[in-house]
Structure formats: C-alpha cells, structure tokens
C-alpha cells in the first residue's frame, strides 16, 4: 500500500536507469577490494562511471548552477594541487568554516586527496570557541567563506601557534587585506592548475596511499557538557557506515538531498559526502540560510534529514498560516487532518484500512495532504529521518499521517551516525528502531546503551583519557544514554541522557527530556528545561516561540515591544499555563512518569542561545549551565515566591556583552492525581 | 588645499582620485527663502563624501541640486570637467548619478526583483514593442540585465525576499532595496539621502558595511547625508557641514569634529 502512495508522488523511485543498475553492482561489491577505500577514490570512480550526472547544485544569482561528477573531480584536483603549492603536508589539519556550499565540500575532499585531515567547524561559533578548536587540532590552514570569518580568525590568529594560511571563497570587502597569508579560493585553484606538472605526481602518490585506516575527517562534538572533543573518524568508519546505511534505505544515484545542516555536524558529512559519494547522488546547496525553504521546495529532495526542531518549526508555520486562512479552508484542513491522523500512518505502513477510509484519504490527498507536502517541500520525500533529539510524538505523527515516510534514527558522532534505524513499515514514535546493519548493541545493568560497529570512531584527538572512558578494549562504546529494548518488537527505546535521568527525592525516576518534549509540541513553546533531580517536585523554565506567540498577539491586538515584554504578558502566561496543565494530565496517565508533573514554572525573559553557552551549536539545552546561570530563578521556583527580579548577561552576535533585567512571575500549574487503574496501555 | 587633479590616499589605503564634481557658489531660493547660500565644495572620484548639519540646514536641497531636481538660481555645477547646463533629473541620471530617497520611493506593489530591474532602464535599448513581444534582442537584453541585477541582489544579501512585494517588507529592508535599485543603474556617483534614518543599531551596522563595500567593490563615489554622527565619522573621507543654508565646515572627520563653528551649530552657543 505504501508503495503506491510513494510512487504517486515520487517519479524517481519508479524509474530504473542503466546507470542505477550499474551503481548497484558497484555498491554491492566490497569496497576495499575494489580499491575504493577513501572518499577521493570514490570521487575518481564517480567521475568515470557517472561522469555526466550532476554531483552538486547550488543556487546562485537566482539560478541552480550545477557541477557534474567529472567537473567536480576537476575542481577538487585543481584545489588539491593548489594545496600542494601552498605547502600542505600529509597529516596537516585544515579547518573549514562556511555554510553548505560546494566549495567547502570540495575543500574537504581536496584536503583528503593530499593526505590532510579536514576539520569542519561551526561557522557561527564565537571567536573563542573557534580559537579552542583551531588550537586544539593545531590547524595550519583554514578555508572560510567570507570577510566575517576572515576577521574572526585574524582576531584569534595570535593565539594560534601553528596557523599559517587562510583561503576565502567570497572576496568581497577583502581587497585591502594583507594577502601574504590570505588567498582567494579561485586563485589557489588557478595556481594549482598552473603548477600541475610540478605537483601532479605528488598528488597521485599521496592519493594512492589512502586506505581504510587513514583518517577521513575530524569532527568536534557539540559538547552538552564541557569542552568539545575532536572525534577522529577513519575512511573505514565513514565508508562502511555510508555503505550499510545506503543499502538499508536503498539509496540510489537518483536520490536528491538538500544540504543545509551545519557542515561541522557528523550527519551532514555522512549524507552530503559519505552517502553521496557512495551512491553518486546529487547534493543541492541552498542560496542562503534564509532561502532554505524556497530552495527545499524547488529541489523536492527524495531523501531528507532534519533535527526535530526543523519539523517543529515547519509545523508551527503551517498552523500559524492555517489560523490566518479563511473559514472554509480551515474546516477543510482540520477535517482531513483528523482523518489523516486516524488512518494516514496505517496506510503508509501498509496496515489494513477500510475501503471508505482509504477513499476519503485519497480525496484528502488531493485537497490537503498533497498541496501541503508540496508547500513544505516534502512532495517527493521517499526516506526522511529525524534524529539528534527525541521528536514529539504528535509532531512525528503529523508528518507520517500526511504520507511522508518519516523515520527515526539514533546516532552519534562517535558511531559515524548510525546506531539504530527504523526499517520501513516498522515505524513507531516512541522507539528509535533496530540496530543498524553491522551494529551490535548491549544494555548495561545501569541501563546505559553500548554499541560496537565498523563505524566506531578511532579516538578523541589528543584526549586518551576520554577515549579510554568511552570506548573499551573490545570496541564497545558508551552512548551516555539510558534505554531498553521494547519486548514486543525488539526496538530500542531511549529514555533520556544517562546523565540527565535522575531520581526525585522520593527515589522515583526523573526523566526531564521526556517532559520537555511533551511541552515543546505546543507551537507557543520553543524550549523547555525541566528541573527536579533530587527534589520533591518538578519545575520548569519555558521559552516562548516568538513567531507563534507574536502571531497570536497580533491577531488579538496585544501590543508588545520586545521578546521580554511578550514573554511577561499575563495572557501569554495563561496560555502557557494551559499547555503545562495539559502536559500534566497526559503525564498522569503514565504510571512511570506521573510524578514528573510540572508544579511551578516561569517563562524566561530571553531566548536560550548558543552564544550565551546555554545551548550547544546543534541547539541542545545545556542543563547544567542553565541551572547555574539562572540559579536565582531556580531558587524562586522552589521557595514559593510569586515573582523574582533578575539580571542576566547576554552576548550579542558580534561578541559584545550586555545585561537585561526583568521581573518574572512564577506560575503555579495544576497537578493531576495519577489514577493507576485508568492507565492506558503502553 | 588639495590639488584638483591629484588624488590622495586615505588612512586605510584607498586611492582617491581627482575632482569629479564641483559645486561653485551655489545659491538656491524658494521665493524669499534662501535654502542654500553661496556654497562651494568638490567631490572626488572614489571618495565617500558626507553632508551633515542640523535639521533644516539645506542638506537635502543640496542633494537635489546635485541630482538635478532643483536648478540653483546662482552658481555653477561642474561635472567631469564640464559646466553642467540646467538639466532634468532623468538627464542627470543618464550621466551616471543615481540616488536613494529620504522617504522611500519604491513601487510598493511590485516585487523586489522588479523594483531593482527598473534601475536598469537606462541600460535597456529595445523599444516598448520589442519588449512586449520579448524575442531576440529584447530577450537577450533582459537576460543580461537580470544577470546584473542578480549580482546586486547577491551583493546586498536580499535573495530571500527576491519575489516578495516591497509593500510587505520592513523599513530597513526597503532601504536596502532602494540601494539595490540605485546600484542597478551602475552609477558613477551615488547619492544617499539619510540611508540609516530610523534604523536600529544592527541595521545601521549592516547598512554601513554595504556602503563601504559598494565603494570598495565598484569604486563608486558616494555622497551621503546622515544624522548619526558616529556613522558619518566612521564612513566618510571628507565632510561638508551646513547650517542655515551656509557651509560652516569642510574637511576630514577629525577636522570637522574640532571645528568650533560646527560644535556651536550642533550644541548651541550660550548667549550670556
């Protein structure tokens, strides 16, 4: 059943080209035996086998510009020769800071081609965060996007002993800079091509040396606790993980992805380099971060990946726009969405559904689901994944009921992403699936999840202690997450981060993330941080979503001048209180977690921000930091006071600091008594 | 005093050329009101020239004289070594002088892209009929112009609003679209009438960066009127200060800052 739906909206799965069959043959054979033991080797294969197929597209000047695999190989070669010309040695680290653009993907592959190690870093990192990473890996070279990044690195250059050359892509505003150690990307390539005769032999020799044991990339973990750690991943890790996951989801040459997630994140490396080079599919780069949604719609990816946050935002946007729609459209939307929620996932999974329901669903598809998917850019999605954090069950169901094959995966940088995956047709919102191909999983007595696979990282760079405490001699890696296997279907369920799962004062389990995710489903709530470890009761900090609440304020003629003012508005507090109480009611139905109901909460006067260290760059909350930073507020939540005045330091985007002060109201939420006899089945 | 032919080099290493435009003893009257009284100054190639002064000093009138909107009763405007006869604004525009307005003057119902495309009208040679048929030369011309406009859109980072009607944009972005339209005309002199009025600090920083980048990247000579003293002092190479229609100062930002007449005009003089 799900086949038919997919084929209806996705032409590419139906067609099987000669190229594709050829690709499958290549894919199935052992890569190491074919000499395909590195990304540059895969590039050379693709340049011959898929020469005229698109490898990269980037929207620039309003048009999708594309590069074939053959052209890509040429660009990468030119850059690699340029690197040799600049004196890049084997084993050097090359930092890469920029948004998703073909140039940076080429840079990574060119770095690998000359035996250097690419280190993608978050381009929005503040300069001291970037300084830490560049200093830690001892990068000699950096490839950056524009003046902003160049300035940032010039600022910190004095602290970096080994740093030498910087290469930038966008020359704007950089004309007057001292160009002794600063080079334009295209010039480096030109000089490389000019010196081809001199360096080609060296390039080929270095490329020939690459094998499974060579380091492929070094990625810094986002670090929910402590300093980031450099995870060293070898070609074996990346290629084996890419191979097995591509086979698992039957990815082909014809798939399309949109590369928009940070390049420093392991997911982007696997999807946009590992799997793309393995399968030979095309990586599309958006025009700018702001045009991502338009570009997504224009490309219509068949393989899509996003953290829950992106799905939440999309859903919030849809709901806001529906509220502004006419009454008939609203009725149509709600009527058919109710139906989709009832039968959509079942149809997607090929379950049995009555003929009437099926017919009604196909009418809904015509009127609502199809156009909606198209607007969101999901019209052609064949395989969609969400990972990074648990997704709210309601959000997950929303997308699946539309007929989008959205699945969950559970992964880590240390595993080259994949630990567990949900197979088609076995998707559930409360599990993260079965062990990915080639991955072994065991659960320790403490409840912590351990895994072992070909994708397991080599080491944390210059940090043998952490390596030893994470990975044991037999190759088992501790995830730091607590979980268990669901007895009914053998799927893994993750409860929370092992560090976060605590005990309440009365000894019952405290799982903050579970409660936070429930809260975050409400479009009005952007972030929530729940406290309660070693305490009698649970309390929460809440961040409102400015888009959703702002829209609501506008429609209700509520004036506000700032985020802070809106966050303190009594009507907003009332609405949030309603959400918290609904969550409490739903928690009361779960005997394991009924005691985690939120007794008191406050709405924070500022958005939690990575620049202030309250979140990681991948937007996970840093519970510890928040608890310490807002100690006064946390105290007020427990001492019974009804409001508290506070002053908070904030960091602006350009690194300057300022203070904002506010008086925050503390709201009591109603608690529902758990009734064990009425518990819904798990 | 600088020589008219010779240029100078700024502190940050930019080469400023000779005089491209010279205002000689300009006087502009509206009936009995004297808006500009006997003002002379010059504009050099590649420089950022600011005109400042308190409200009602005659700054915008001065800009309108440069753009040909007002023809002064007395005085001469010399442009590229030639005395400029009284002209209509469109004739001045043809000479390569483009401007933005203090009160935004965009086509509200049109998209950003279309608004910026109107800036290319000077470059379009084909007639109305040919453009309506849109074949051959007209099509070719539109493609070329669109390419140029897309580069400006990229330059000013307004890709995400390319297809948005201007009426729906916030003020700061409208200002940026207006700048884009002016740039689309490939001006040799760009006149900016209070480009940062009504903006918050962050928007001002963005706009300042664009102004500097335009000057740097295209070598465009820029004349700007601005109230924010911090912005003026940071951006401009030389400043003309006006008060009650008269020129009370002219020189580098530092000179002007220490000029007693300027301090009096801005802070007032005690009369005891």
| B38 contacts B27 by C-beta, under 8 angstroms | yes
What does the longest C-alpha to C-alpha distance in chain B come to?
75
Are residues A441 and A548 located together in one domain of the fold?
no
* Residue from B116, B146, B154 whose CB has the most chain A CBs within 10 Å, to mutate: B154
The whole-angstrom distance between A150's CA and the closest CA on chain B is 15
Token pair listed for A652: 């602006």
CA nearest A293 in B: which residue? B160
pLDDT tens-place string over residues A462-512: 999 889 989 998 999 998 888 888 877 889 988 777 777 777 888 787 888
User: What is the mean pLDDT of the segment spanning A167-171?
Assistant: 94
Contact B155 A172 (CB under 8 A): yes
CB contact set of A335 (below 8 Å; sequence gap of 6+): none
What percent of chain A shows pLDDT beyond 90? 54
Neighbours of A23 (CB within 10 A): 23
Q: Which long-range contacts (CB under 8 A, 24 or more apart) does A469-472 make?
A: A470/A414, A471/A414
A324 touching chain B per CB within 8 A: no
Helix (H, G, I), strand (E, B) or coil at A442: strand
Best CA proximity match to A32, nearest among A233, A243, A192, A207: A243
Residues 6+ apart with CB under 8 A from A252: A20, A23, A24, A279, A281
The pLDDT assigned to A5 comes to 36
Nearest to A62 among B155, B157, B162 (CB): B162
pLDDT of residue A30: 52
Question: What are the residue ranges spanned by the domains of chain B?
Answer: 1-96+187-272, 111-184
Q: What is the pLDDT of residue A19?
A: 41
pTM recorded for the entire structure: 0.82
Do A45 and A192 share a structural domain?
yes
CA distance A336 to A364: 6
Task: State whether CATH 1.10.3720.10 applies to domain B1-96+187-272.
Answer: no
Q: Indicate whether A556 and A452 sit together in one domain.
A: no
Structure tokens given for A424: 């088609």
Across the interface, whether the CB atoms of A176 and B146 are under 8 A apart is answered no
- Kind plus residue range of the DSSP H or E element containing A400: helix A393-401
Contact A416, A238 (CB under 8 A): yes
User: What is the ipTM for the molecules in this complex?
Assistant: 0.80
* Cβ neighbours of B147 in A, within 8 Å: 61
Instruction: Check whether A681 has a pLDDT greater than 60.
Output: no
My answer on whether A595 and A490 are in the same domain is: no
pLDDT digits (tens, 9 = 90+) for B97-127: 998 888 888 999 999 999 999 999 888 887 7
Q: Are A233 and A120 in contact (CB under 8 A)?
A: no
Report if residue A344 sits inside a domain: no
On whether both A204 and A61 belong to a single domain, the answer is yes
Q: Is residue A598 assigned to a domain?
A: yes
Q: To which H or E segment does residue B138 belong?
A: helix B137-155
Query: In chain A, which residues have their Cβ closer than 8 Å to the Cβ of B14?
Result: 176
Q: What is the CATH number of the domain that holds A561?
A: 3.30.300.30
Nearest C-alpha in B relative to A290? B160
Task: Say whether both A74 and A208 belong to one domain.
Answer: yes
Residue B154: which of A60, A173, A290 has the nearest Cβ?
A: A60
> What average pLDDT does chain A have?
87
Of A273, A300, A332, the position where a domain reaches its end is A273
Q: Any CB–CB contact under 8 A between A559 and chain B?
A: no
Domain holding A435, by residue range, is 412-496
- Residue A226, helix vs strand vs coil: coil
Phi, psi of A434 (to 5 degrees): -100, 165
Structure letter (DSSP) for residue A366 = I
Question: Is residue A48 situated within a structural domain?
Answer: yes
The distance of B145 to chain A (nearest Cα, Å) reads 12
In a domain, A279, yes or no: no
CB atoms near residue B3 (< 10 Å) = 9
Residues A530, A673 share a domain: yes
Per-residue pLDDT tens over the stretch A208-232: 999 999 999 999 987 666 688 999 9
Is position A586 within any domain?
A: yes
Closest CA–CA distance from residue B52 to any residue of chain A (Å): 26
Chain A residues closer than 8 Å to B12 by CB: 176
**Residue from A521, A499, A524 nearest A512 by CA:** A499
Rg value, chain A, Cα = 26
Residues of chain A neighbouring B153 (CB-CB closer than 8 A): 61-62
Please report whether residue A351 resides in a domain. no
Name the least confident of A449-458, A594-603, B133-142, B181-190. Answer: B133-142
Contact B216 A173 (CB under 8 A): yes
Q: Are residues A544 and A570 in the same domain?
A: yes
Same domain, A585 and A481: no
Residue B73: CB atoms within 10 A of its CB come to 12
pLDDT band of A34, cuts 50, 70, 90: low
- Look-up of token digits 């506070």: A646
Rounded CA gap, A57 and A69, in Å? 11
Is residue A505 within 8 A of residue A479, CB to CB? The reply is no
Give per-residue pLDDT as tens, B243-254.
888 899 899 888
Interface of A with B in 44-83 (CB under 8 A): 60-63
3-class state of residue A115 by DSSP:
coil
Quickly state the pLDDT bin for A675 (edges 50, 70, 90). Answer: low
In terms of CA atoms, which chain B residue is nearest residue A59? B159
- Tokens (6 digits) for A372: 């909606």
Q: Give the residues across from A8 on adjacent strands.
A: none
Instruction: Read off the pLDDT of each residue in A136-158 and give the average, rounded to a whole number.
Output: 92
* pLDDT at residue A428, as a whole number: 84
Q: Looking at residue A307, what is its pLDDT? A: 87
Measure A130 CA to nearest chain B CA, in Å: 23
Measured CA to CA, the distance from residue A121 to residue A117 in angstroms comes to 13
Taking only residues 177 to 206 of chain B, the set having a beta carbon closer than 8 angstroms to any beta carbon of chain A reads 205
What pLDDT score does A98 carry?
92
Instruction: Identify the segments of chain B with pLDDT beneath 50.
Output: 1
Q: Is the pLDDT of residue A656 over 90?
A: no
A176, closest residue in chain B (CA to CA): B13
- The minimum CA-CA distance between A265 and chain B, rounded to whole Å, is 25
Name the residue facing A291 among B13, B150, B160 (closest C-beta): B160
pLDDT at position A1 = 36
Same domain for A630 and A512 = yes
pLDDT at A419: 93
Query: For position A227, what pLDDT does the model report?
Result: 82
Count CB-CB contacts under 10 A for residue B85.
Answer: 9
Residues A584 and A674 in one domain: yes
Residues of chain A with Cβ-Cβ distance to B13 below 8 Å are 176
A287–chain B Cβ distance below 8 A for any pair: yes
Distance CA A566, CA B215 (A): 41
Locus of tokens 């780069």: A285
A534 within some domain: yes
Q: Quote the pLDDT of residue B129.
A: 80
Query: Which residues of chain B lie closer than 8 angstroms to A63, CB-CB?
Result: 150
Shortest distance between the Cα of A286 and any Cα of chain B, in A, equals 11
Does residue A291 belong to the interface with chain B, where contact is any CB pair within 8 Å? yes
Q: Is the pLDDT of residue A80 over 90?
A: yes
Domain boundary among A496, A525, A544: A496
- pLDDT at residue A112 tops 80: yes
C-alpha distance from A263 to closest chain B C-alpha (Å): 21
What average pLDDT score do residues A20-47 get? 68
How many domains are there within chain A?
Answer: 3
In this structure, are residues A651 and A126 in contact, taking their beta carbons and an 8 Å threshold?
Answer: yes
Instruction: Give me the mean pLDDT over the A440-453 stretch.
Output: 88
In chain A, % of residues over pLDDT 70: 93
Q: Do A173 and B155 touch (CB under 8 A)?
A: no
Q: Taking the mean position of all CA atoms in its chain, how far away is CA A229? A: 18
Are both A131 and A184 inside the same structural domain? yes
CA atoms within 13 A on the CB side of A280: 27
A414's tokens: 């240390």
Q: How far apart are CA A569 and CA A564, in angstroms?
A: 9
Q: What is the mean pLDDT of residues A572-590?
A: 90
Burial letters A632-653, b for 16+ CB under 10 A, else e? ebbebbbeeeeebebebeeeee
A74: domain CATH number is: 3.40.50.12780
CA distance B99 to A235: 56
Is the pLDDT score of A253 beyond 90?
Answer: yes
Has residue A88 been placed in a domain? yes
Task: Give pLDDT, residue A213.
Answer: 93
């Amino acid at each position: 059943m799900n086949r038919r739906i997919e084929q209806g909206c996705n032409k590419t799965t139906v067609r099987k080209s000669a190229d594709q069959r050829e690709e499958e043959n290549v894919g199935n054979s052992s890569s190491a035996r074919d000499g395909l033991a590195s990304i540059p080797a895969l590039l050379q294969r693709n340049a011959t086998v898929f020469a005229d197929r698109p490898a990269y597209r980037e929207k620039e000047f309003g048009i999708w510009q594309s590069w074939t695999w053959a052209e890509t190989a040429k660009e990468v070669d030119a850059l690699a020769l340029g690197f040799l010309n600049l004196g890049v040695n084997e084993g050097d680290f090359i930092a890469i800071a920029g948004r998703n653009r073909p140039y940076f993907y080429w840079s990574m592959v060119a770095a690998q081609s000359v035996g250097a190690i690419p280190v993608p870093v978050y381009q929005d990192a503040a300069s001291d965060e970037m300084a830490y990473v560049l200093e830690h890996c001892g990068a000699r070279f950096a490839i950056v996007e524009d003046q902003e990044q160049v300035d940032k690195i010039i600022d910190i250059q004095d602290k970096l002993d080994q740093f030498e050359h910087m290469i930038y892509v966008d020359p704007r505003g950089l004309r007057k800079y001292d160009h002794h150690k600063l080079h334009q990307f295209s010039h480096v390539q030109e000089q490389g091509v000019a010196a081809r005769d001199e360096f080609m032999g060296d390039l080929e020799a270095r490329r020939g040396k690459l094998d499974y044991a060579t380091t492929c990339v070094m990625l810094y973990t986002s670090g929910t606790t402590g300093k980031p750690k450099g995870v060293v991943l070898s070609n074996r890790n990346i290629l084996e993980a890419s191979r097995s996951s591509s086979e698992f989801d039957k990815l082909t040459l014809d798939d399309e992805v949109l590369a928009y997630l940070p390049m420093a994140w392991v997911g982007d490396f696997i999807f946009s380099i590992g799997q793309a080079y393995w399968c030979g599919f095309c990586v599309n780069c958006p025009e700018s971060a702001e045009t991502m949604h338009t570009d997504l719609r224009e490309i219509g990816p068949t393989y899509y990946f996003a953290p829950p946050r992106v799905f939440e935002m999309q859903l919030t946007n849809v709901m806001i726009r529906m509220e502004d729609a006419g009454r008939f459209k609203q009725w149509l939307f709600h009527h058919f969405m109710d139906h989709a929620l009832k039968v959509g996932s079942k149809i997607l999974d090929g379950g049995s559904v009555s003929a009437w329901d099926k017919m009604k669903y196909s009418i809904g598809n015509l009127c609502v689901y199809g156009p909606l998917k198209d607007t969101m850019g999901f019209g052609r999605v064949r395989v969609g994944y969400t990972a990074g954090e648990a997704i709210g069950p309601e959000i997950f169901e929303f997308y699946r009921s539309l007929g989008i094959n959205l699945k969950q995966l559970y992964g880590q940088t240390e595993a080259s992403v994949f630990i567990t995956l949900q197979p088609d047709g076995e998707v559930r919102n409360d599990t993260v699936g079965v062990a990915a191909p080639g991955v072994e999983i065991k659960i320790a007595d403490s409840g912590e999840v351990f895994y072992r696979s070909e994708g397991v990282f080599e080491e944390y760079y210059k940090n043998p202690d952490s390596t030893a405490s994470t990975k044991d001699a037999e190759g088992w890696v501790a995830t730091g997450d607590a979980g268990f296997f669901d007895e009914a279907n053998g799927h893994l369920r993750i409860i929370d981060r092992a560090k976060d799962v605590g005990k309440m004062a009365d000894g019952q389990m405290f799982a903050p993330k579970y409660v936070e995710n429930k809260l975050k489903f409400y479009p009005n709530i952007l972030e929530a941080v729940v406290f309660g470890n070693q305490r009698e009761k649970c309390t929460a900090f809440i961040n409102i979503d400015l888009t959703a609440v702002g829209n609501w304020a506008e429609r209700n003629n509520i004036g506000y001048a700032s985020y802070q003012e809106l966050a303190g508005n009594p009507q907003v507090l009332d609405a949030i209180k309603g959400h918290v109480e609904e969550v409490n009611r739903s928690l009361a139905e779960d005997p394991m977690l009924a005691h985690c109901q939120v007794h008191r909460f406050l709405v924070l006067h500022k958005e939690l921000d990575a620049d202030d260290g309250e979140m990681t760059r991948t937007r996970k909350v840093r519970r510890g930091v928040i608890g310490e930073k807002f100690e006064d507020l946390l105290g007020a939540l427990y001492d019974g006071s009804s409001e508290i005045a506070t002053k908070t330091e904030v960091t602006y985007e350009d690194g300057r600091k300022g203070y904002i002060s506010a008086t925050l109201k503390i709201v009591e939420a109603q608690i529902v008594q758990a009734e064990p006899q009425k518990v819904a089945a798990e | 005093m600088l020589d008219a032919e010779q240029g100078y080099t700024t502190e940050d290493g930019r080469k400023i050329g000779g005089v491209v435009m010279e205002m000689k003893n300009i006087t502009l009257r509206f009936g009995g009101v004297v808006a500009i009284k006997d003002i002379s100054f010059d504009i050099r190639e590649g420089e950022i020239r600011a005109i400042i002064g308190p409200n009602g000093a005659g700054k915008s009138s001065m800009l309108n004289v440069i753009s040909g909107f007002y023809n002064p009763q007395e005085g001469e405007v010399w442009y590229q070594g030639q005395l400029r006869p009284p002209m209509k604004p469109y004739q001045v525009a043809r000479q390569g002088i483009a401007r933005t307005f203090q009160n935004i003057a965009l086509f509200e119902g049109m998209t950003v892209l279309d608004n910026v495309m109107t800036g290319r009208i000077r470059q379009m040679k084909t007639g109305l009929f040919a453009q309506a048929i849109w074949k051959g030369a007209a099509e070719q011309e539109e493609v070329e112009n669109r390419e140029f406009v897309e580069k400006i859109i990229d330059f000013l980072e307004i890709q995400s609003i390319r297809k948005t009607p201007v009426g729906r944009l916030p003020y700061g972005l409208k200002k940026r679209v207006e700048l884009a339209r002016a740039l689309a005309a490939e001006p040799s002199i760009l006149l900016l009438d209070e480009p940062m009025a009504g903006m918050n600090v962050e928007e001002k920083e963005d706009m300042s960066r664009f102004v500097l980048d335009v000057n740097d990247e295209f070598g465009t000579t820029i004349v700007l009127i601005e109230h924010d003293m911090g912005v003026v002092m940071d951006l401009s190479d030389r400043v003309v200060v006006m008060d009650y229609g008269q020129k009370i100062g002219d020189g580098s930002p530092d000179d002007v800052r220490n000029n007693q007449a300027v301090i009096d005009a801005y802070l007032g003089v005690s009369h005891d």
